[in-house]
Structure formats: C-alpha cells, structure tokens
Amino acid sequence: RKEVEQDPGPFNVPEGATVAFNCTYSNSASQSFFWYRQDCRKEPKLLMSVYSSGNEDGRFTAQLNRASQYISLLIRDSKLSDSATYLCVVNTGNAGNMLTFGGGTRLMVKP
C-alpha cells in the first residue's frame, strides 16, 4: 500500500458544481497535512493546510479524519479556473521531517 494515495481522476464537472476529493494515508502517526494545486507544467502551490478541526477558505473546505486516515478537499461553486491537479501532502514522520506527496487528482471544470 502506498503511503499517500489519491484517485488520479480526471474528475470532469460542470461550472458551478460541488466536487470532493479524498486522500488516504497509511501512517497513523502523521502530523501535518496540506493540499496543493498544480497547474500544467508549473510548480505546486499551497492551497491550504488541513487542521484537525477542519478549515475553510472561501469555496474550499478541508477536513481531516484521523480515525479513517484520510483528508478531504471540497470545492463549491466550481470555476473554470479551478481546473488543475490537486496534490495532497502528508508528513509521514519517517526518518526526520519528510513530506510525502500523493500522485494528485486531476480536476477539469467544463463550461
């Protein structure tokens, strides 16, 4: 089992739709969690950190479920500009402070 797993997609949704992605992790001792957005041929950019109590930033909501070992990202009212690959990142706590990336979920928002 991979340490951090994501459904690669693509998720094809119409503008205005609500879409959710999950990311599962295998190390129960993982300490920190993040969602990044990566546009084609660009570097990943931090979208949001994921806190134990859940957090929201505009149309984006991140949740952490420690019992089931997954994090989620919910995007409401999808925009064309939300089309990108969404990467989850987990500090798996192995051999020092190492952040492990999921393979990414591709989102395509259509008019």
Partner 1 sequence: DGGITQSPKYLFRKEGQNVTLSCEQNLNHDAMYWYRQDPGQGLRLIYYSQIVNDFQKGDIAEGYSVSREKKESFPLTVTSAQKNPTAFYLCASQRANNSPLHFGNGTRLTVT
Residue type, 17: A
Question: Smaller CB distance to partner 1: residue 102 or 107?
Answer: 102
29: its two tokens: 């001792």
Question: Smaller CB distance to partner 1: residue 51 or 77?
Answer: 51
Query: Within 10 A of 105 (CB to CB), how many other CB atoms are there?
Result: 22
Residues 49/2, Cβ–Cβ less than 8 Å: no
Q: Which residues of 69-87 are buried (b: 16+ CB within 10 A; e: fewer)?
A: ebbbbebeebeeebbbbbb
* Residue 107 is a binding residue for partner 1 (CB under 8 A): no
Q: Exactly one of 1, 28, 41, 53 binds partner 1 (CB under 8 A); which one? A: 41
Residues with Cβ within 8 Å of 53's Cβ and at least 6 positions away in sequence, in order, are: none
* Residue 45 is a binding residue for partner 1 (CB under 8 A): yes
* Residue 31 is a binding residue for partner 1 (CB under 8 A): yes
Question: Smaller CB distance to partner 1: residue 4 or 19?
Answer: 4
* Residue 1 is a binding residue for partner 1 (CB under 8 A): no
* Residue 27 is a binding residue for partner 1 (CB under 8 A): no
Q: Exactly one of 18, 49, 52, 65 binds partner 1 (CB under 8 A); which one? A: 49
